Amino acid sequence: MIVTTAETMRALDRRAIEEMGIPGIVLMENAGRGCAEAIRRYYGPFTRKPVVILAGRGNNGGDGLVIARYFHQWGLPFKVFLLSEIEKVRGDARTNLNICLNAGVPLEAVPDWEAFCARMADVTTAHTLVDAMLGTGLTLEVKGFLRRVIEFLNQCSIPVVAVDIPSGVDASTGRILGAAVRADMTLTMALPKVGLLIHPGADLAGRVEVVDIGFPPILTKEETPSLRLLESEELGGVIRPRPAGSHKGDYGHLAVIAGSPGKTGAAALACMGALRMGTGLVTLGIPQSLNAIMEVKLTEAMTEPLPETEQATLSTASLEAVLRFLEGKGALAVGPGLSQHPETAEMTRKLIRQCPIPCVVDADGVNAMAGRLETFAERSGAPLALTPHPGEMARLLGCSTAEVQQDRLATARRFADEYGVYLVLKGARTLVARPDGSVSINPTGNPGRASGGMGDVLTGMIGGLLAQGIPMGDALDLGVYLHGLAGDRVAEEKGTVGMTAGDLLCHIPGIIRELRADEDMGGRFRGKIPDNGQHPKP
């Protein structure tokens, strides 16, 4: 599913009006009618308590006025408060304001805090509140009167429906611009906005539903989808069918370079993640003194003992052996539990420079690159992916984790473009950034995955897909989607507290089967825009 920013949405609106000849007032009518129908569907039947619509003076408020007009036409209880002086309303919003006034739609201007205080009782006794105050064009911090209104609404216990985006959320980044409405449901126009899918905006959006406003399909088809939300029906075809006469050699051989004293579990989880993805063969390269341990721990994967330091981590002397070890392998996964020993880090950098096959780098492999980003320009040219969590990303960039999290999308996109690598920025709403500037947003997953070993499983899953010959971008999209979905399945069965990385492994084959069935049967197993655990309440 294509995802858009505020800037792209403005361009689409402009094209619809100027190139397609659709008047802006028609788009606003479609938007308001679609929202009114959705509110009626999800929150009706209505009692004597009214729906209270809070409309701003811009186009978002214009949508709210159309909603009010339809509620008036349907004979449903409502009140609409215009949070502006009437004279300040312009454009299509003013046209709809005039229609409301001429049609006898009851409407009251509430232009300041004193006037709003006089109507607080109406707000606090409403059936449902409709936030049509500020839309996707907001770029400055919310202050003054509207900020006080937003803070008041967030203290109420009444369901809130946001029109297009919760007021105060940056539609392009998900940042909170001073203060923002906490909605139970967001009815967004034409396409989902980035700010609804990336935290912290995603925390405030509630359930998200897209409203059709009448864009001709050619408009969105002609858009280059630089941003998209991952969905199961698009990913099912990535997993290739298995002919009856096939054998393990047909499904790739993954090399895993991982493990050090105290961190053998990371290596084991990576290997098992690859095997659960259907990889034909997996061989773990491990410091030689740990080989006996891993031969016992891993029964389905093979092991390769490699030269080590006095601390039993991989040494620089192991590089030649590792490069020989890569012969005949389809892909390399490197980093889980590898340690930050200086020799091991140096070996990792040299390996990344010389690796001749697709490679995914995680954990200590990523840490080895901190302060040595020139390594990326010196590599052989084989596709390379890094899978840092925000802390590791901060170390790579030499900044704080808070700076990374402030605009995750821009951070991931900029890094992938500058260094010509693929980047998986993990966390809530994991991002997959490509060197061409496109980014995928993953909707699956939950807080239960915040435990050790989860990233190791993901590294193995991605590496296993690469070993099977799946292109890097597809392997990353499918890997992060399945990893999050496996976590969701565990949460459904056991809850989020106490979830372990090993819990995810047993769910992977069943999910793959469902995805394949979805592909074969035309898309019955569908990904959905996440609702963050919140649902419309009557």
The 3-class SS string of 144-203 reads: HHHHHHHHHHCCCCCCEEEECCCCCECCCCCCECCCCCCCCEEEEECCCEHHHHCCCHHH
Domain boundaries, the chain: 6-229, 252-484
Has residue 464 got a pLDDT over 90?
yes
Has residue 527 got a pLDDT over 70?
no
Has residue 530 got a pLDDT over 70?
no
* Sequential DSSP letters for 59-116: HHHHHHHHHHHHHHHHT--EEEEESS-GGG--HHHHHHHHHHHHTT---EE--SHHHH
Q: For residue 493, give the H/E element and its range.
A: helix 472-494
Averaged pLDDT for residues 362-390: 95
Q: Across 434-504, where does the E strand assignment appear? A: 439-441
8 A C-beta contact, residue 429 and residue 200: no
Query: What is the CATH code for 252-484?
Result: 3.40.1190.20
**CA–CA distance, 288 with 308 (Å, rounded to integer):** 7
- Which range has the worst mean pLDDT, 179-188, 237-246, 459-468, 496-505? 237-246
**CA–CA distance, 467 with 360 (Å, rounded to integer):** 11
Could you tell me the pLDDT band of residue 535, with boundaries at 50, 70 and 90?
Answer: very low
Has residue 212 got a pLDDT over 70?
yes
CA 5 centroid distance within chain = 14
| Of the options 3.40.50.10260, 3.90.226.10, 3.30.70.260, 3.40.50.2300, the CATH number for the domain spanning 6-229 | 3.40.50.10260
Averaged pLDDT for residues 232-254: 90
pLDDT of 529 reads 59
Q: 523 Cβ partners below 8 Å, 6+ apart? A: 232, 233, 236
For the chain, report the end-to-end CA distance as a whole number of angstroms: 29
Place of tokens 């990353």: 476
8 A C-beta contact, residue 22 and residue 30: no
Could you tell me the pLDDT band of residue 489, with boundaries at 50, 70 and 90?
Answer: very high
8 A C-beta contact, residue 423 and residue 389: no
Has residue 524 got a pLDDT over 70?
no
Has residue 519 got a pLDDT over 90?
no
Alpha helices in 241-389 (DSSP H): 264-276, 291-297, 319-325, 342-354, 364-367
> What are 40-56's pLDDT values in tens digits?
999 998 888 999 999 99
Q: 380 Cβ partners below 8 Å, 6+ apart? A: 353, 354, 355, 356
Stated pTM of the model: 0.89
* Residue of 380, 427, 419, 381 whose CA lies nearest to 397: 419
3 state SS of 444: coil
b/e burial code for range 187-210 (CB count within 10 A of at least 16 → b):
bbbbbbbbbbbbbbbbbbbbbbbb
